[in-house]
């Protein structure tokens, strides 16, 4: 598996260096919500075989080969491609006819809408699910409409364009889930992926947090290991082998994501939010949030 991790900054730097005119990328700012979309007719090149720190969705019309982890799949009819960012992949075109669209977005964009919480509980973008959904003629027409609308809005000055993009993108994700009958069954997965899948499902089910009366139950690798009846070292090894991240990193990132949502969208005070996330002392939550956001929870909340 490739150890290279391509960031959005790396991606934009690479296409500028190769003089590939896909889209305007000047508005990207690290740590901010980001989305972009391009037509695929400019994608007649081979992309690097890397993991990514961003999400990508491709609506493929044309022929080519996807190398995804240890697998290879030939695309010869319209399809949606939902790769997991932690799995290295590359695309090779077969012929000059390439139509459709592709979009990319970061974690901040994916976290910025409560409607996307549903999709975080599904198999989309997961390491154990098959990333390609082939489309019928009717579904291809629907996908075309959704992506055309996203492309149009993304290049407009409409003041609510972000909300409209997310609504249309949600329609694309629902379209994929309607076809999601090819997921790999747990018995087909390697042991380390099976354990990571159980951990991920357990972690995801804890969110969103609904009330300070029900604080976060599982906060540490040991908590999850006990719940899954495995040794914590075995859990840590399995998670790291699949995601290249530590179990602690994944848990903390999820807690930070939820803390931002609670600060933005609830009227809970800072102490309540900290307690709900498992911090007994407000100062501990304050330090945790500052470490991840480089600002205090109060300043972050007051900005919205």
Q: Measure Cα distances from 264 to 187, 269, 301 in Å.
A: 40, 11, 6
pLDDT tens per residue, range 268-289:
999 999 999 999 899 999 999 9
pLDDT tens per residue, range 108-125:
888 766 678 788 888 889
| Domain annotation for the chain: domains and CATH numbers | 5-178 (2.60.120), 186-302 (1.10.10.60)
| Nearest one of 63, 36, 34 to 147, comparing CA atoms | 36
CB hemisphere CA count around 237 (13 angstroms): 7
pLDDT at position 129: 85
Helix or strand (DSSP H, E) at 136:
none
pLDDT tens per residue, range 175-218:
998 876 455 566 667 889 889 999 998 998 898 888 888 999 99
Q: Helix 191-205 to helix 232-243 angle, to the nearest 10 degrees?
A: 100
Give me the phi and psi of 12, to 5 degrees please. Answer: -65, -35
pLDDT tens per residue, range 7-49:
888 888 887 776 555 555 556 666 678 899 999 876 655 677 8
């Amino acid at each position: 598996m490739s150890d290279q991790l391509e960031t959005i900054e790396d991606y934009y730097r690479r296409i500028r260096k190769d003089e590939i005119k896909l889209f305007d990328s000047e508005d990207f700012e690290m740590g901010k919500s980001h989305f972009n979309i391009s037509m695929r007719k400019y994608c007649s090149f081979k992309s690097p075989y890397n993991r990514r720190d961003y999400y990508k969705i491709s609506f493929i019309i044309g022929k080519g080969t996807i190398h995804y982890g240890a697998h290879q799949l030939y695309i010869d009819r319209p399809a949606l491609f939902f790769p997991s960012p932690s799995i290295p992949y590359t695309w090779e075109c077969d012929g000059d006819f390439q139509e459709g669209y592709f979009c990319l977005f970061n974690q901040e964009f994916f976290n910025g809408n409560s409607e996307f919480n549903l999709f975080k509980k599904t198999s989309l973008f997961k390491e154990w699910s098959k990333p390609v959904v082939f489309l019928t003629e009717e579904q291809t027409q629907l996908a075309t409409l959704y992506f055309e609308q996203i492309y149009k809005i993304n290049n407009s000055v409409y003041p609510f364009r972000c909300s409209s993009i997310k609504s249309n993108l949600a329609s694309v994700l629902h379209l994929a889930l309607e076809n999601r009958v090819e997921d790999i069954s747990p018995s087909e997965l390697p042991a380390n992926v099976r354990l990571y899948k159980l951990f991920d499902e357990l972690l995801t089910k804890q969110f969103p947090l609904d009330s300070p009366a029900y604080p976060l139950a599982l906060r540490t690798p040991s908590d999850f290991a006990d719940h899954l009846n495995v040794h914590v070292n075995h859990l840590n090894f399995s998670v790291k082998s699949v995601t290249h991240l530590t179990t602690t990193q994944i848990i903390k990132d999820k807690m930070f994501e939820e803390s931002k949502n609670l600060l933005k969208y609830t009227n809970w005070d800072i102490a309540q939010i900290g307690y709900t996330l498992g911090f007994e002392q407000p100062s501990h939550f304050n330090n945790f949030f500052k470490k991840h956001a480089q600002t205090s929870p109060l300043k972050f909340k007051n900005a919205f």
